[in-house]
């Protein structure tokens, strides 16, 4: 099939409902949970805030508009390589410089929801990924690897979402050997339903925060605060992930859409 027929086939399948467009994005508003860093790590990101410019009133009689205050890494968002010190010297490492073809890529979904329900500190390991591959086939190079945890059900409650106690946050994520393995498979990035791509306890890993340090250090990407990964097949979805073209941006809130076979 030629490219033109492929594109019109996709458009026809979307229109007929044979292909579903699934929104993997959390609502972005003042209640959107943001990462909380302990003071020794420095400053925190502000929460989202909308400021009104006009609302069909004396400030603009026929129109409504606002301006936003938000961190680059707020809500459902994309991590660019420049976000981490390991990726800071990579060429074209900011949101305005990334090749647009990287914003359209297949996704595999590794379902860890049952293990996470038992243990919020659950780590997806390389062995766990290999077990998934034994069942579903190898992860193809250029794929997003998305960790389904069903954590997005906590997204409306910041306390439950961050799940911190006196020992720090407790949320699932990838182990160091998991990220090393995904890089060896040629993954384009790692995605999580939690506030960031790394596990709540990942500050104590070696290296700390491997999904950031290793993925971004290799010029790959991250996706955090994803929703509804339970609506995707283990394999066969196509992800559309286009960060805002922020000049010098280290990341961006993003609307993440998945094309999936309906049914």
79 binds Mn ion (CB under 5 A): yes
Q: Which is nearer to Mn ion, 126 or 179 (CB)?
A: 179
What six digits make up the tokens of 250? 């280290």
Q: Which is nearer to Mn ion, 73 or 152 (CB)?
A: 73
Select which of 73, 77, 83, 152 is catalytic.
83
Q: Under a CB-based contact definition with an 8 Å cutoff, are residues 74 and 252 in contact?
A: no
Strand ranges for the chain from DSSP E: 19-23, 49-57, 60-69, 77-79, 104-111, 123-124, 144-148, 164-165, 168-169, 173-174, 189-192, 221-224, 235-241, 251-253, 256-261
Question: Minimum distance from CB of 130 to Mn ion (Å)?
Answer: 27
Question: Minimum distance from CB of 110 to Mn ion (Å)?
Answer: 20
- Which residue lies nearest Mn ion, judged by its C-beta? 73
Question: Minimum distance from CB of 33 to Mn ion (Å)?
Answer: 13
Stretch that binds Mn ion, among 3-11, 47-55, 65-73, 132-140 (CB under 5 A): 65-73
Judged by CB under 5 A, the number of residues near Mn ion is 3
Q: Which is nearer to Mn ion, 254 or 258 (CB)?
A: 254
Among residue numbers 221 through 260, which ones bind Mn ion (CB under 5 A)?
251
Burial call 138-164: b when 16+ CB within 10 Å, e when fewer: ebeeebbbbbbbbbbebbeebeebbbe
Question: Minimum distance from CB of 57 to Mn ion (Å)?
Answer: 37
Burial call 34-72: b when 16+ CB within 10 Å, e when fewer: bbeeeeeeeeeeebbeeeeeeeeeeeeeeeeeeeeebbb
220 binds Mn ion (CB under 5 A): no
Active site residue 73: no
Q: Which of 25, 28, 73, 107 binds Mn ion (CB under 5 A)?
A: 73
Query: Whole-angstrom Cα distance, residue 46 to residue 34?
Result: 8
CA nearest 73: which of 236, 222, 235, 241?
Answer: 222
185 binds Mn ion (CB under 5 A): no
| Tokens 């959390």 -> residue | 26
Question: Minimum distance from CB of 119 to Mn ion (Å)?
Answer: 24
Q: Which residues bind Mn ion (CB under 5 A)?
A: 73, 79, 251
**Among all residues, which ones are annotated catalytic?**
83
């Amino acid at each position: 099939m030629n490219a033109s027929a492929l594109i019109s086939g996709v458009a026809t399948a979307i229109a007929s409902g044979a292909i579903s467009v699934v929104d993997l994005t959390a609502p972005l508003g003042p209640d959107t949970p943001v990462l909380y860093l302990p003071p020794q790590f420095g400053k925190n990101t502000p929460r989202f805030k909308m400021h009104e410019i006009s609302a069909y009133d004396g400030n603009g009689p026929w129109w409504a508009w606002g301006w936003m205050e938000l961190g680059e890494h707020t809500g459902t968002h994309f991590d660019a390589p420049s976000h981490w010190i390991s990726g800071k010297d990579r060429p074209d490492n900011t949101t305005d410089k990334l090749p647009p073809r990287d914003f359209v890529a297949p996704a595999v979904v590794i379902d860890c929801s049952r293990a996470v329900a038992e243990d919020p500190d659950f780590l997806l390991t390389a062995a766990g990924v290999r077990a998934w591959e034994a069942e579903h086939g190898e992860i193809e190079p250029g794929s997003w690897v998305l960790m389904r945890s069903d954590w997005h059900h906590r997204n409306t409650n910041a306390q439950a979402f961050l799940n911190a106690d006196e020992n720090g946050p407790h949320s699932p994520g990838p182990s160091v050997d998991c990220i090393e393995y995904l890089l060896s498979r040629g993954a384009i990035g790692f995605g999580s339903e939690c506030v960031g791509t790394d596990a709540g306890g990942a500050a104590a890993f070696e290296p700390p925060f491997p999904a950031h340090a290793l993925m971004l250090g290799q010029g790959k990407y991250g996706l955090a605060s994803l929703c509804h990964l339970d609506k995707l097949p283990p394999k066969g979805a196509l992800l559309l992930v286009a960060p805002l073209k922020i000049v010098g941006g280290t990341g961006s809130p993003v609307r993440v859409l998945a094309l999936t076979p309906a049914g």
